[in-house]
Amino acid sequence: YRSRAVSWEQVAPLVVAQFRALCAERPGDPGFTYVIEEARRASAEFDALWSRGDVCPGGQMRKELHHPRAGRLQ
């Protein structure tokens, strides 16, 4: 996904902030806790974004991808 994202630097912080908002709806949920811990271990970028503590309400977000055959998709 990342390799095809047109504006990864803008999208990634928003996606992590939306995920944080979703996690806040179920504090202590072992599934969310597991995913967060694994993502933080696997990705320094996720760890840095998670550490910011940003929260963004869920909802639709426009994402653009570059498909090798179809070109730019929204």
Q: Where are the domains of the chain?
A: 2-73
How far apart CA 26 and CA 70 sit, in angstroms, is 39
pTM equals 0.81
DSSP 8-73: HHHHHHHHHHHHHHHHHTSTT-HHHHHHHHHHHHH-HHHHHHHHHT-----------EEETTTEEE
Average pLDDT over residues 56-67: 83
Q: Among residues 43, 1, 39, which one has the least CA distance to residue 19?
A: 39
Beta bridge partners of 12: none
Q: What percentage of the chain carries pLDDT values higher than 70?
A: 100
How far apart CA 25 and CA 31 sit, in angstroms, is 13
